[in-house]
Structure 1
Amino acid sequence: MTAKPRTLLSPELGAYTKHVFKAGWAISLVHDGETYRFDVLVDGRFPYSAIRVALTSKDMFLKWPHVEPRGLLCLPLASSPIVDVSEAADAALASALQLIDQCRQANFVQSELRREFLSYWDHATHDNEKPVYSLLNPSNHSARSIAVWFGQQFALVGEDAVQVRTWLSHRGRTEPSTIVAGVFGHLGEAPVPPFPDRPTELFELLADQSPETLRVLDKCPCKRDVIVVLGATSPSGDGLMAVRITSPNTHGFRKSQCNRPSIKMTLWRTRSEVRRAEIARFDAAWVHGRGLNQALPKLQAAKVLLLGCGSLGSQVAVRLAQSGVGHLTLVDPDKLSPANVGRHALGVAETGQNKAVALATELRHRFSHMHAVEGHGVPWQQFYHKHPDLFEAFDLIVACIGEWSAEGPLAEWQRREGGERPVVYGWLDERGTAAHALVLTGNVPGLSCVLGSDGNLRVPETIWQNRGAIQSEPACGTLFQPYGPIDMALAETLVSKLCLDVLIGSVSAPRHRIYATSTEQLTAAGGKWSDEHLKHRPAGFEGAFEYDRPIDACQQCDACKETA
């Protein structure tokens, strides 16, 4: 039996404060002998947004799964939009009744609440409670003491004081920070509402689910607030929750007595509050793949030296940081000019600053969880002479210098002193019509097998007249290649991908990857393909493509002659 719907008035629609509904109807339905009242709600984006249904006859918020504040039900989306309002409302009400049938089963309620426990925890956090930012590793389930920093806008938690201070330093905080102890514990199963409201309830939960966490908490002083971070595992993975145990009023107790275990627990139980807080994960595992990136441990441990932070090198540095590389050292002697900005990772605000130093500052700010990002505004040779021992520590060296006067000596160093440490070289052909990513180790083949004594490819990819398209500014020595950010994007992807493949072990040297543009774009730029390129281009195909070119000992360079 269905009663006639009643149109909702504006104040009734406005009661759903987190939504803007344009129309709605109140309706009563009898289902299995019980009457349920619903609000059917439509916003201004219908039919491109789903009709919402709120259960208004009983308050099941934080009692049933998929129930939001004010009884709004989180219902499955239709496979395709329903344009007719009546049809869409009928379908939504049918889904609502189906959810009610499921929620009559206790097993369903418990399993669904545990499966999405973070959603319900977030709904139950206390108003005006500062959020907690976490650098913790949730996959480590051990109960342990953690480091906590209380800021004006948020609290930051990490595995130790060094990690917390490094994150704050990367965010630009230079003054000393007071770090205190907090607690991490992992619950045996994901909690369900009602969540702990008082210290006694929290301690009972810990005693049942994680007794070791109570023992760690017992070591914290009660003279200040204590952050407790709780982990739990659901079918969707590990999740974190945070509570703040407020400092109790110790009036009537001697200071020397307050930290005795029995008195401390009594003070917490009777004179403290438990404040549930939202928690945001800033740990590397979450930032770089939501906990699913299997390659991340290798990338986090990797130490990469990047030489050349110009248009290509700066973008490669950003991609490596975004991918999860934990340690980056950037070296470039040049300052950023306005003409660089159109292709560079930095912007107008950094003009006049050294490229390596400014880029390191930017990366530390954007990826504050990184272990280390350093910038050095000197030529790579000067950096090497000052820190020769550091070169031994790097897992990968990346050269995006773009000048033979600097890359030639690097190739000599690699041949004589580099050992088996991989070096990735990246550059673009004239007008960005082809991009190259080359990884080498050891002596032969070396860079001199690929590039001649003038720094040009021994076997070119493209053919040009009059040195191709090199341009100059109306000033001495200011030569440049006129290519744009799209050409650069293709090159940065090629070089970055090869770097990552080397770091995770899926590629070993030597390897020469080439991205070649379309024949149409090359012709328009005034160039043509070399005979060597045409050997690799699929017959009849004129589009852009990527391929690997074999690298062989040239038998002409000094390296080959020395090993002959």
Structure 2
Amino acid sequence: MSLQLKATPAAGSTAQGLDAWFIGLGDDFLGRVPADSLRPGMVEGWRLRWRERELEVGVDADFPYSAARVYLVGFAREQAQPHIEKDGKLCLGSKAVPSDAVRTVQVALAEALQLLTENETRQHDEDFREDFGAYWLTWADRRDLLIEVLPDLGGARKTTLARGVRTEGRVFIFPSKDKAGKFWANLTGNAPKRLKETPLISIDPLPAPGRYPDTAAEVWELVHTRSQGGTDLLARLMANTPMEAFVVLAGIAPSGREHYSGLRIRRPLDGSGYPIKRRAIREGIERTEDPRRTLFERFEIERLPTDRLDAGSTRLPEGVQREMSAAKVVVIGCGALGSGVARMLAQAGVEHLSLVDPEKLGWENIRRHELGGRAVGHAKAEALADSIRAALPMVGFVKGYQMTFAAFAREHHESLRQADLIVSCTGEWAADASVELALRQPGHTGAAVYGWMEAHALAAHAVLVGSHGARLADGFDEDGKFRLPVVAGGKPPPPECGGASTTFGAVELAHAQGLVARLAIDSLRKLETGPVWRSWLADATAFNEAEARIAPDWVAARGDPDDGGGLFSGEWTFP
């Protein structure tokens, strides 16, 4: 009998109405879930029969302001289906209908039956590999130990001997000793005490949940049949018969997404609860057909939840991530604007940053600067580099230089020449002119993004130019005065500006940081090659509060913005 979803509910309380509706389903209704059998977090539940299967509907204490849950009773990994969790919960997108509890249940059940019907015809089987990481997490043997992987440039297509660092509850896996040392020094300030050799084995294709290994023998067979050279690394892992070791299986989803799945390998325990002795576990293996395999198969395994450490892995395509991580960027000016831009670039995946600023942080900076009170009195560039390394320890190279750009250009000429992009956020014409002079020297092929703000942060600009063609100087007169400013008039800055107060804060600054960082990222991705000029304008309320207006020349050249302000983009050209 098929389940009917249009039974008429009886009037009364939420519980009474739902009970009456379920009873109205007739023989398909199997009764209420006993209180002592309710699933965690559920306060009420009902059981149904559908196509010889048993379903369970549960609601929590927030219902009807939360969605109803639907479970497949008796679900096991051997019967794994797409979009169903380990406890049988169906992953549904249905939402609560607060005004109608019965409708909330009907919507959830309708979506559940549709999913189960589609699974019967195998419409979602590809999802096992496309979203492999989520399914591996669902069927992990334990949740108190997490594997965290920093992929190499070869990614999940490359079988390699990685290095692991074990901490309480976490195992960090790195592609090399060098990467492990840098990450750990960034994160803790110290070198890792001990590195574990950890095979990272590329397998193809990724297995469905029913083929996830439960034993070491199944791990060996999976690696043997679906990898190139993976069993050699498993054998190497067993050379010293470790008490504990780790293995990472890696693979590529149909869409190209990379997935990583971690395993813990350990010696079995003896009758007293201790790992059996090395001699005992190796006993007799030399008399077997394949001693390496025999030894490995005597170990026990646990499937562990696995995550990735690399920045930007959920935002940009895999190939773009590798391009970003290889890019070399120099940020000039680590004040309010430049500090935010530098951090955004690191968060976007840029792993090689040189930060240049001659000044120290003052108390007047902290309400709008990426650094806070603890960094006051410290060099901005060096403190910012320390902060980024600690916050994003996977970043390969972030170094601060307490000096002017001109000094950096003299003392670190080769670093400057190798830079893919220079980002200048000084807001000073002399400094920007110095950057442009360096960019035009023979051998420089990179580009530069210049960012600055106008009075009261009512407008911000980002300009991308290359080492040839249009120049930043085209938009300024010989005294460094901008030819087409946005802001006209306005209150004078407070007498103590630069001391106890500033004319703008972090909220106003955020738009400018995003404007400059986005143009820099677009340049690194070759989405923009310049010359490009982007401007952001504040809304009419901000202009009114600052007693300022839009300059007539700007309106004539770029158009009259509406009261909401917003983004303008065009070429860097002037009459």
| TM-score normalized by the length of structure 1 | 0.83
Any idea what the Cα deviations from partners look like across 1:377-411, whole Å, max 9, x if unmatched?
Answer: 22223333332222112111111113345344444
Q: Per-residue deviation at 1:305?
A: 0.6
Equivalent AA in structure 2 for residue 227 of structure 1 = F
Distance 1:127 1:459, change over 3 A: closer
Judged with a 3 Å threshold, the aligned counterparts in structure 2 of structure 1 residues 419 and 24 are, in CA distance, closer, same or farther, namely: closer
Secondary structure of 1:188's match?
coil
Match of residue 496 from structure 2: 473
The alpha carbon displacement at 1:519 in A equals 4.8
Matched, 1:223 2:241: yes
Can you list the C-alpha shifts for 1:130-161, whole angstroms capped at 9, x where unaligned?
Answer: 21110125744233222222233311112211
Q: 1:269 aligns with which of 297, 311, 317?
A: 297
Residue 326 of structure 1, CA deviation = 2.2
Q: State the SS of the aligned residue for 1:174.
A: coil
What's the offset of the Cα at 1:115? 5.1
Deviation (angstroms), 1:314: 0.7
Q: Distance in 1 between matches of 2:195 and 2:86?
A: 36
Which residue pairs with 2:262 in the alignment?
242
Structure-2 separation of matches of 1:491 and 1:113: 42
CA distance in 2, matches of 1:233, 1:210: 12
- 1:136 maps to 151
* Higher mean C-alpha displacement, 60-69 vs 393-402: 60-69
Mean alpha-carbon deviation: is it higher for 89-98 or for 146-155?
A: 89-98
Once residues 177 and 310 of structure 2 are traced to their aligned partners in structure 1, the CA distance between those partners, rounded to angstroms, is: 15
Matched residues, number: 534
1:308 aligns with 2:333: yes
Distance 1:177 1:459, change over 3 A: same
The whole-number CA distance in structure 1 between the counterparts of 2:190 and 2:112 is: 54
Separation in 2, partners of 1:119, 1:541 = 45
Distance in 2, matches of 1:550 and 1:87, equals: 55
Match for 1:162: what amino acid? D
1:528 positional shift:
3.2
| Aligned residue runs from structure 1 range 42-191, under 5 A | 42-56=59-73, 58-65=74-81, 66-71=83-88, 73-78=89-94, 81=97, 83-93=99-109, 95-96=111-112, 107=122, 113-114=128-129, 116-127=131-142, 130-137=145-152, 139-191=155-207
- Residue 112 of structure 1 and its aligned partner are, at CA, apart by 5.6
Per mean C-alpha deviation after superposition, the further-off stretch among 93-102 and 279-288 is 93-102
| Counterpart contact for 1:129–1:275, Cα < 8 Å | no
Aligned CA distance change for structure 1 residues 128 and 302 (closer, same or farther; 3 Å): closer
Write the distance in 2 (CA, Å) between the matches of 1:413 and 1:117.
49
Per-residue deviation at 1:7?
4.0
1:504-526 Cα offsets, whole Å, 9 max, x none, are: 22323433322233455334423
Structure 2 CA distance for aligned equivalents of residues 211 and 21 of structure 1: 47
Cα gap change, 1:317 to 1:97, in 2 (>3 Å):
closer
Q: Note the C-alpha offset of 1:374.
A: 0.9
Distance across 1 between alignment mates of 2:104 and 2:499:
65
For 2:502 and 2:447, locate their aligned partners in 1 and report how far apart those are by CA, in whole Å: 28
- Contact 1:120 1:193 (C-alpha < 8 Å) held by counterparts: no
Deviates more, 1:183-192 or 1:412-421: 412-421
Cα 1:377–1:62 shift into 2, 3 Å = farther
TM-score by length of 2: 0.82
Q: SS of the residue aligned with 1:21?
A: coil
Q: CA deviation at 1:534?
A: 1.6
- Other-structure match for 1:366: 391
Gaps of 5+ in 1: 555-564
Rounded to whole Å, the distance in 2 between the matches of 1:283 and 1:377 is 29
Moved more, 45-54 or 297-306: 45-54
Please state whether the residue corresponding to 1:193 is helix, strand or coil. Answer: helix
Distance 1:140 1:218 in 2: 21
Q: Name the CA shift for 1:537/1:449 in 2 (closer, same or farther; >3 Å).
A: closer
Aligned to 2:549: 528
| Contact 1:61/1:68 (8 A) holds in 2 | no
How big is the shift at 1:275? 1.8
Question: Contact conserved, 1:241 with 1:279, CA < 8 A, in 2?
Answer: yes
Contact 1:61–1:70 (Cα < 8 Å) also in 2: no
Q: Structure 2 matches for 1:451-530, cutoff 5 A? A: 451-464=476-489, 469-473=492-496, 482-519=503-540, 521-530=542-551
Match in the other structure for 1:437: 462
Secondary structure in 2 matching 1:218: helix
Alignment CA distance shift 1:216-1:532 (3 Å): same
Structure 2 distance, partners of 1:261, 1:308, is 66
Distance 1:28 1:274 in 2: 37
Question: Which residue identity lines up with residue 487 of structure 1 in the other structure?
Answer: E
Q: Deviations over 1:301-346 (max 9, x none)?
A: 2111111111100111122112222211111122222221111122
Q: Residue 31 of structure 2 contacts residue 48 of structure 2 at CA under 8 Å; is this kept in 1?
A: no
Report deviation, 1:92: 4.1
C-alpha displacement of 1:360: 1.1
- How far did 1:280 drift? 0.6
**Is the 1:469–1:481 contact (alpha carbons within 8 Å) kept by the matching residues of 2?**
no
- Give the secondary-structure state (helix, strand or coil) at the position aligned to 1:162: helix
- Mapped to 2, the partners of 1:211 and 1:459 lie a distance apart of 62
Whole-angstrom distance in 2 between the partners of 1:400 and 1:205: 53
- Contact 2:71–2:90, Cα closer than 8 Å, also in 1: no
Aligned to 1:557: none
Corresponding residue for residue 4 of structure 2: none
Question: Alignment partner for residue 297 of structure 1, among 322, 339, 358?
Answer: 322
3-state secondary structure, aligned to 1:486: helix
**AA aligned opposite 1:203:** W
Match of 1:343 among 368, 377, 383: 368
Question: Which amino acid is the alignment partner of residue 2 of structure 1?
Answer: D
Residue 394 and residue 267 in structure 1: after superposition, are their counterparts in 2 closer, same or farther (change >3 A)? same
Alpha carbons of 1:443 and 1:268: their partners in 2 closer, same or farther (altered >3 Å)?
closer
The correspondence for 1:278, drawn from 299, 302, 305, is: 305
Does the residue aligned with 1:306 lie in a helix, a strand or coil?
strand
* Conserved 8 A contact 1:183-1:227: yes
CA distance in structure 2 between the partners assigned to 1:396 and 1:164 by the alignment: 27
Q: C-alpha displacement at 1:424, in angstroms?
A: 1.9
Structure 1 position 276, deviation (Å): 1.3
CA contact 1:326–1:372 (8 Å) conserved in 2: yes
**How do 1:7-26 residues align onto structure 2 when only pairs under 5 Å count?**
7-13=32-38, 16-17=39-40, 20-25=41-46
Whole-angstrom CA distance in 2 between matches of 1:444 and 1:472: 42
Give the superposition deviation at 1:451.
2.6
Letter in 2 for 1:334: E
Residues in 2 aligned to 1:551 and 1:4: alpha-carbon distance in whole angstroms: 71
Residues 361 and 261 of structure 1, relative CA distance in 2, 3 Å threshold: farther
Cα deviation, 1:80-101, whole Å, max 9, x if unaligned, reads 7374334443554455555555
Aligned counterparts of 2:232 and 2:341: Cα–Cα separation in 1: 47
- Answer yes or no: is the 8 Å Cα contact 2:146–2:306 preserved in 1: yes
Q: CA RMSD in A?
A: 3.4
- Cα distance in 2 between the residues matched to 1:413 and 1:321: 24
SS at match of 2:371: coil
Residue type at the aligned position of 1:282: L
